[in-house]
Every structure is written in structure tokens, then in C-alpha cells.
Amino acid sequence: MLFRVAQCLLCGVRTIPRSGSNVITKYPVLGRSSRTLCDNGRSPLLEELVRSDAWTVHLRRLEEWGAVAEEAADCSADVRRELPVLRELRGKERELLELRQLLGEDNEDLKSLVLADITSCEEEIIGLKYKMAWLLLAKEEADHSDLILEVTAGVGGQEAMLFTAEIFDMYRRYATYKNWSFDILGYYYSDLGGVRHATASVGGYDAYRHLKYEGGVHRVQRVPKTEKQGRIHTSTMTVAILPQPSEA
């Protein structure tokens, strides 16, 4: 539900060139300039998104685990993008709370200044919520799909096939670690126990998102088992990652 709602926020975004640049930037239209969204200048779809349980759970998990994950070497790009925005959002929300407390002062001049600051702060909060929504929207629809993994031996003869078998087994073990399914669809052995070509269906939460950049040519430089003089050889293999459409 969270991502379906986020996709509807396109109505709240305009595309304009950056000042002095030909680069096109997408950004949310905020405050009084956003009357195209609805009468009060806010997107009702954004309001629906930020009130949803999925949004609340996502931000709570990000707050609880984000700081720990950020320190890890294998921290995901999603966390590195979302966590700074969440921190800024929480800071603005605290600032807004403090400003509202100042409205109890008797000084009318101070009240007028505080009201102006509150308006500005509220608009910044809306902008940060839009930004967070766009970070969620930026994930490809296929990210939650299952996938087909294909490995093929390349240059290097038998050593390339042994390398291909090792890579295929690495992905199988990784799938086990992630609690994904790993169903071998085809496996063609070489004479020395390597793999000429193999395919597997991999299924599980965000499987495609985690593996989609693995595709391409991989190489290894080492002394092959068949090398009798200790010379280093270069062997290659190819990985293909294809999203598997759902049957629904």
C-alpha cells in the first residue's frame, strides 16, 4: 500500500531545470505555490501516505535500526539516502513543537514572528515528507520481484567453468542466508566438475533489488588447478539477472 500511494504523488511534482544548468530536477511544489494539488495547497494522497501504518512502521524501523546499519560496511544505499532526510524531518518537527509553545507568550510582536516561523517550518516539513516519499517511489517496481539467475562460463576453459561453479554456489549460499528459495532450473557440468551453464529461479523478499546489479562479466586471476608451472591465468564468466514477472 505504501508504494502504491507514493506513486500517485506525481501530481505534486514539477520538473524544472536547475538554475544555470541543463540538468532537469524533479522537486515537490510546496506551500502557496502548490494550489494545483488541492484547495489547501497539500496533496491528499500525501496525507493518506503519511497517515498509513506502512509509513509509520517504515520510519520507526529506520529510526531504530538506521543508525546501526549506517555504521556497517554493507549498509544499503536506501538507508544512506533515507536516514539523513528522516533526521532532518524529525528535527523540523521538534522545531515546530517548540515554536507552537511560544504562542503562549503575551508579546504580540513575538507572536507574529512565531506565526511566520511556524508557517515556514510547516512548509519545510511538507517538503521533507515529499522527499521521503520520492525516495520510496524511486525503487523500481521490479525490486520486489523474484528473479532468474543465469551463469555462463567465459574465457579460460576448464578453469572458467570451475570459477562459474563457485559463483553459482556463492549465490545459492547467499539465497540460503537471506531465506530465499533457490530452485535450479538447469545445470550443465564440465569434465572437472565445473559448470558450463546454469540457471536458477530465486524468490524472496526484495531478491531482485539485492541482486539486480550483479549482472555482467566477472573475472578471476589465479593459478588454475590444471596449471603445472604455477602461472597465473585470467578466467571469466557471465552473470545475468532477470526479474521474474508475477503470475498475478
Q: Contact at 8 Å (CB) between 144 and 246? A: no
Which of 139, 162, 182 finishes a domain? 139
State the Cα–Cα distance between residues 82 and 23, nearest whole angstrom.
23
75 and 156, same structural domain? no
Q: Which residue has the higher pLDDT, 20 or 16?
A: 20
pLDDT digits (tens, 9 = 90+) for 117-152: 998 888 888 878 877 876 765 566 677 788 999 999
Q: Contact at 8 Å (CB) between 38 and 78? A: no
101 and 118, same structural domain? yes
Which of 139, 163, 191 finishes a domain? 139
Q: How many domains does the chain have?
A: 2
69 and 192, same structural domain? no
State the Cα–Cα distance between residues 8 and 63, nearest whole angstrom.
25
106 and 24, same structural domain? yes
Which of 87, 104, 139 finishes a domain? 139
126 and 161, same structural domain? no
Backbone angles phi, psi at 128, to 5 degrees: -70, -35
State the Cα–Cα distance between residues 62 and 162, nearest whole angstrom.
41
**Coil, strand or helix: which one is 24?**
strand
Longest dimension (CA), the chain: 91
**Coil, strand or helix: which one is 214?**
helix
156 and 51, same structural domain? no
133 and 148, same structural domain? no
116 and 30, same structural domain? yes
* Domain interval for residue 108: 2-139
102 and 170, same structural domain? no
152 and 126, same structural domain? no
Percentage of the chain beyond pLDDT 90 is: 25
Q: Is residue 51 pLDDT above 80, yes or no?
A: no
User: What CATH number did the domain enclosing 237 receive?
Assistant: 3.30.70.1660
Average pLDDT, the chain: 75
pLDDT digits (tens, 9 = 90+) for 66-93: 767 666 666 667 777 888 888 999 999 9
State the Cα–Cα distance between residues 216 and 213, nearest whole angstrom.
8
DSSP string across 72-121: STT--HHHHHHHHHHHHHHHHHHHHHHHHHGGG-S-HHHHHHHHHHHHHH
108 and 181, same structural domain? no
154 and 49, same structural domain? no
45 pLDDT band (50/70/90 cuts)?
low
- Determine the average pLDDT of the residues in 174-198: 93
CB atoms within 10 A of CB 5: 20
State the Cα–Cα distance between residues 173 and 239, nearest whole angstrom.
16
- Determine the average pLDDT of the residues in 210-223: 86
